[in-house]
Structure 1
Amino acid sequence: MCKTIAIANQKGGICKTTSTFNISVALATMGKQVLMIDFDPQASLTISAGLEPLNLEHTVCDILKKSSESVTNCIYKFNNISNLSIIPSIIDLAALEMGMQTRTAREKILARALDSIKHSYDYIFIDCPPQLSILTVNALAACDYVVIPCKTDYLSYRGLEQLENTISDLKRLVNENVEILGVVATLYEKNVKDHNNILNLLHKKYSVIGVIKKTVEAVKGIYEGIPVVLRNPKADISVEYVKIANEILIRG
């Protein structure tokens, strides 16, 4: 049975896209059929996967419009792994989001679109935008689980409460099945006292399924569309993302 997982946090720059890409690739290399959905108008996941948004015939926008395109026409295979695919994004998603506000049952637009393809995948990962917008609400309404990347600083930690409240509201009103699968602590620096304090707080309050250290390895190879788990599988960050993928296999 397909599990849909949103990678969500209203803050930017906390490794949502990096985590989505590397966890997806790790699971695909384990033989799982994986679909990534770039749900951010910045299209960072699309670009990271080696695609140029402006050159694509169809994007996630086409499945969100009132006269929607078939979802299968918006899916592109990832060049390096046959069982990994992506629905790309484009800057037009920002304008489309405004129009979604007036739609009937607007929280479920994405969920309805994905119903027809879930049988083809073991996992669907949604890379959410860095704000609690109608796009993020759609992702949460469509998913079974939420994985929350959280930078190990105080403001990021405090921001988790707002996201928790949003998920609780969605669970009560729109998607009773959604659960927080776990938190991934990101950009962690072992030698920074505050980072250790926040990591300890995260462990006390949440289920921490991985700790991603701050490293330049995360962004190397991005222009070639190659995630770190493929480019340098022995790197600490790669090993940790594989551990997170295995934890998702166990929990999800």
Structure 2
Amino acid sequence: MKNLLVVADLQVFFIIPLCKLQRKRYNNREISSIIGECIVEKIAFRSAVAVELAGVPKMDYYKIRQLTGRDSESVRSARADYTPDDVRTLKRALIDGFAAWQDSDKHVPLVAIRMSKGGVGKSTISTNMAIATAMRGYRVLVIDLDPQASTTELFGVDSESDVRTVVSGVLEGHPLKDCVYSMSNEAVLHLMPADQLVAHFDPKVVAVAHREHLLEKFLERNREYIKANYDIIFLDTAPGSSFLNLNALVACDLVVAPMSMDGMSQKALKLLRTEIMELKDWLGVDRQVLFVANNYNKSQTHSRQNLEAMQLGFGDYLAKAVIPANVSVARQISGGIARPVILSEPNRPASLAIHQLTRQILRTVGMFGVDPDPVDEEADE
């Protein structure tokens, strides 16, 4: 345990490997061991948190241990470390229809996190939202489509390692199962990483017919594997316009558009609107967009004014959650150590807002058995 940092509080605790991102290249056989050292190997929480994440009625921890197959263990404590697999077990046992839904021939929704401007929090939201989804017992795949590889780095994976990326799968013909890496010691969170070679996607496809459907076709070729292993897929896109970003918009079911509370983000919105309109006009593809107010600072006048303008202009297309500016987000990679804020500081306002955003997105794309939002419950009382 000497290489682990335990972050604890009254509600939940997480075990986080203290590993430094290493700057050397590895072959594909070596990369699995490197990733195993560098990611959050175990997400764990108390029994009360497991029940809350599962969205099931409160119960004593003896009942929880029985349902999760731990009743024979000697430890009889509410502080036993429950995992996302345990949350999934509780859902399957106590939520009518959840097991049938998860095992069914269902459509696996794709959520693209997209904004043409950089620095608005796309990768932060992608990474933390994927973890929040996995914590709820859903099986998650994250595909990093950004050559800057910020999401890959936030998961603690060295983007300069010899990993297989979307280029390996879409253009080189590798099956999806050979391009994904487990981000935990349970099969709840997988990553298709990125590196700078992802930037080669556009030059390679410029003369390819129907190039805007390449990602969609790749996912369709791997349909059986996806349905057997995942409940939802998140696509983290790069800033600016590219064929790869267009592929993400064509393939996805929902576009999540983070916006910082500054004028530049408001201007970048025009490009996103143009992209969405072109999808509809040229390809007949109509995508739902959910805007997210990110990096909000209530002490700044311009931040309050921009949020009010978004609320008036977007209405129901604006996410209920407002993610506040927080130094915790800025230090997610500090000293070479990757620590997504939802794990390192789970009770911070930014982490709680990400959980609220996650619940709304999961409901929007039709996920079964999403836990209730405490904010909505308070409003009903």
Query: TM-score by structure 1 length?
Result: 0.94
Preserved contact between residue 142 and residue 191 of structure 2 (Cα < 8 Å): yes
User: What is the CA–CA distance in structure 1 between the aligned matches of 2:245 and 2:305, rounded to whole Å?
Assistant: 29
1:80 CA drift (Å): 6.1
User: What is the CA–CA distance in structure 1 between the aligned matches of 2:287 and 2:281, rounded to whole Å?
Assistant: 10
User: What is the CA–CA distance in structure 2 between the aligned matches of 1:30 and 1:138, rounded to whole Å?
Assistant: 28
* Alignment equivalent of 1:163, drawn from 262, 272, 275: 272
Count of aligned positions:
250
* Alignment equivalent of 2:339, drawn from 226, 236, 246: 226
- Say which structure, 1 or 2, has more relative contact order (CA 8 Å, 6+ apart): 1
Preserved contact between residue 258 and residue 291 of structure 2 (Cα < 8 Å): yes
**Which stretch shows the higher mean deviation, 79-88 or 102-111?**
79-88
User: What is the CA–CA distance in structure 1 between the aligned matches of 2:174 and 2:356, rounded to whole Å?
Assistant: 36
User: What is the CA–CA distance in structure 1 between the aligned matches of 2:187 and 2:339, rounded to whole Å?
Assistant: 14
Instruction: Report what 1:18 is aligned to.
Output: 124
Structure 1 or 2, whichever has the larger Rg, is: 2
* Alignment equivalent of 1:208, drawn from 294, 312, 318: 318
Preserved contact between residue 201 and residue 244 of structure 2 (Cα < 8 Å): no
User: What is the CA–CA distance in structure 2 between the aligned matches of 1:242 and 1:175, rounded to whole Å?
Assistant: 33
User: What is the CA–CA distance in structure 2 between the aligned matches of 1:59 and 1:95, rounded to whole Å?
Assistant: 11
1:7 aligns with 2:113: yes
* Alignment equivalent of 2:245, drawn from 132, 136, 142: 136
Residues 37-48 of structure 1: matches in 2 within 5 Å? 37-48=143-154
User: What is the CA–CA distance in structure 1 between the aligned matches of 2:284 and 2:326, rounded to whole Å?
Assistant: 36
Preserved contact between residue 276 and residue 286 of structure 2 (Cα < 8 Å): no
* Alignment equivalent of 1:55, drawn from 139, 161, 179: 161
User: What is the CA–CA distance in structure 1 between the aligned matches of 2:284 and 2:238, rounded to whole Å?
Assistant: 19
**SS of structure 2 residue aligned to 1:54:** coil
Preserved contact between residue 29 and residue 81 of structure 1 (Cα < 8 Å): no
**Which stretch shows the higher mean deviation, 234-243 or 202-211?**
202-211
CA RMSD for the aligned pairs? 1.6
Deviations 1:92-135 (A, max 9, x none): 11123212211111101111111224313221111100112111
Alpha carbons of 1:129 and 1:221: their partners in 2 closer, same or farther (altered >3 Å)?
A: closer
For 2:146, give the aligned amino acid.
Answer: D
1:175 CA drift (Å): 5.7
1:188 aligns with 2:296: yes
Q: Which runs of 5+ in 2 are unaligned?
A: 1-106, 366-381
**Which stretch shows the higher mean deviation, 114-123 or 85-94?**
114-123
User: What is the CA–CA distance in structure 1 between the aligned matches of 2:303 and 2:186, rounded to whole Å?
Assistant: 35
Deviations 1:64-94 (A, max 9, x none): 31x4211110011103663011100110111
**SS of structure 2 residue aligned to 1:53:** coil
Deviations 1:136-157 (A, max 9, x none): 1011011001000001112211
State percent identity of aligned pairs: 30
User: What is the CA–CA distance in structure 2 between the aligned matches of 1:88 and 1:215, rounded to whole Å?
Assistant: 26
1:247 aligns with 2:355: no
1:113 aligns with 2:222: no
1:220 CA drift (Å): 3.0
1:74 aligns with 2:179: yes
